[in-house]
Amino acid sequence: MMQFQVKENRVTDLKVAYLGGGSRGWAWGFMKDLAMDGQMEGTVVLYDINRQAAEANKIIGNKISAHPDAKARWSYRVADSLEEALTGADFVVISILPGTFQEMRSDVHEPEQFGIYQSVGDTVGPGGLIRAMRTLPIFAEFARGIAAYCPQAWVINYTNPMTVCVRTLYQVFPKIKAFGCCHEVFGVQETMAAMLNDLRGIQGVRREEIRTNVLGINHFTWIDKASYKGLDLMPIWKEFCEKYAEEGFIENPSENWMNSHFESCQRVKIDLTKRYGIIAAAGDRHLAEFMPPWYLKTPETVKYWKFSLTSVDWREKDLQERLERSRRLVSGGEVIELSPSGEEGHLLMKALLGLGDMVSNVNIPNRGQMPDLPADVVVETNALFRRDEISPVAQGICPETCLP
């Protein structure tokens, strides 16, 4: 069992090991989420092969914890070794970049000379395959360390390729308690909330109020049931698809949104709904990579479907901007503002600590929740989180045409 103190519906003395603790993005959002939740406190131990990045995040994390609006006080420190980070941990968070963007450049762009275009390049296709080969030995090391130093810890993975990363953890340490979190389904729920405003005039819908039945594998997820306060959303979604099939839909677009490397007009998922009858529940950039070259045949094809090829040049530029922001946050040149990340990691931690049950879509081994896929394959479905337990929710049968 996990070692922590529980008093008056509040948990203290937690230890969280953050592997990839030099993260410039995911880590900052997680730190803010922890600071804004008054039901948990403890220590976050940052471990990263880039020690300098972890040291910067230690300063940023402690500043966030000391923010006058923070509801919880967390202490951040840097570990010298994986053993030190993991020993006695109650939770392990994994958020790493395997290799460098320079290495990713060949993964994503070399195949273009053979007519293979990738909009993300981190899950399937040449980019996903090479990234997996680069990542899985690291995850095997993590799994061995968890088995040795914190075998009862809950492990939360954010690293792609999600499915094979989580599966590797279980193959190396079968008794591990690991799951993967991904926000792609959240984006579809937000689109549904906007849809209700657009087609039914229902305003103020929060994406958490959209109930969905999720099935599939990460980045190739599907929704065959969706509702809002008892209202069946499936026929409304099909109406939405008919309305926006040609022009696409984006809520509150900026003037240069087409130059964004992450936005889309939802045309891929709309087209997949029209083809298969259920909702493709991931971003267009990810969905396109699982399909025949309907959407990625050429850059002109991508433009027609109104999404983007995320270049490594852009990723490197974005990294430089994040590095500069890290320096400003450390030096005090930028004031830290507390705002929720929109992720659910800290909420799932609370549920596992016994602070309220919760259902969310997560990536875990198939224990029968998707009987049409092999046992032990890591699938993305809904699951019930409660004290020290995750119970998969049986999702039913995915249409055969939608299986990976």
The domain limits of the chain are: 5-102+127-181+339-352
pLDDT exceeds cutoff 70 at 239:
yes
| pLDDT tens digits, 5-20 | 677 789 999 999 999 9
* Contact between residue 300 and residue 306 where contact means Cβ atoms under 8 Å apart: no
| 160 annotated to a ligand binding site | yes
User: Whose structure tokens read 């964004």?
Assistant: 260
Judged by average pLDDT, the poorest of 7-11, 296-300, 306-310 is: 7-11
- The helix/strand/coil state of 233 is coil
**Share above pLDDT 70 across residues of the chain, in percent, rounded to a whole number:** 94
Identify the helix (H) or strand (E) that includes residue 396: none
pLDDT at 284: 97
Secondary structure letter of residue 327 according to DSSP:
H
Identify the helix (H) or strand (E) that includes residue 361: strand 358-365
pLDDT at 108: 95
User: pLDDT band at 251, cuts 50/70/90?
Assistant: confident
User: pLDDT band at 159, cuts 50/70/90?
Assistant: very high
**Mean pLDDT of the 281-304 span:** 97
Q: Say how far apart CA 97 and CA 113 lie, in whole Å.
A: 25
pLDDT at 263: 76
pLDDT exceeds cutoff 50 at 89:
yes
**Mean pLDDT of the 183-188 span:** 95
pLDDT at 376: 83
Give CATH superfamily name and number for 5-102+127-181+339-352.
AglA-like glucosidase (3.90.1820.10)
Q: Say how far apart CA 119 and CA 302 lie, in whole Å.
A: 9
* Contact between residue 144 and residue 172 where contact means Cβ atoms under 8 Å apart: yes
183 is catalytic: yes
**Strands 231-232 and 220-228, sheet pairing:** antiparallel
**Strands 378-386 and 358-365, sheet pairing:** antiparallel
pLDDT exceeds cutoff 90 at 372:
no
Instruction: Give me the sign of the Cα torsion angle 372, 382, 138, 131.
Output: positive
Instruction: Decide: pTM greater than 0.75.
Output: yes
User: pLDDT band at 123, cuts 50/70/90?
Assistant: very high
| pLDDT tens digits, 46-58 | 999 999 999 999 9
Question: What tokens were used for 268?
Answer: 């891929």
β partners of residue 319: none
pLDDT exceeds cutoff 70 at 230:
yes
pLDDT at 1: 44
State the Rg of the chain over Cα: 21
| 361 annotated to a ligand binding site | no
Following DSSP, what letter does each residue of 21-84 receive, concatenated? TT-SSHHHHHHHHHHT-TTEEEEEEEE-SSHHHHHHHHHHHHHHHT-TT-SS-EEEEE-SSHHH
pLDDT exceeds cutoff 70 at 324:
yes
Give Cβ neighbours of residue 282 (< 8 Å, ≥ 6 apart).
184, 185, 187, 188, 219, 220, 221, 269
Choice among 67, 109, 183, 261 that is catalytic = 183
**Strands 5-6 and 11-19, sheet pairing:** antiparallel
Q: Say how far apart CA 254 and CA 295 lie, in whole Å.
A: 23
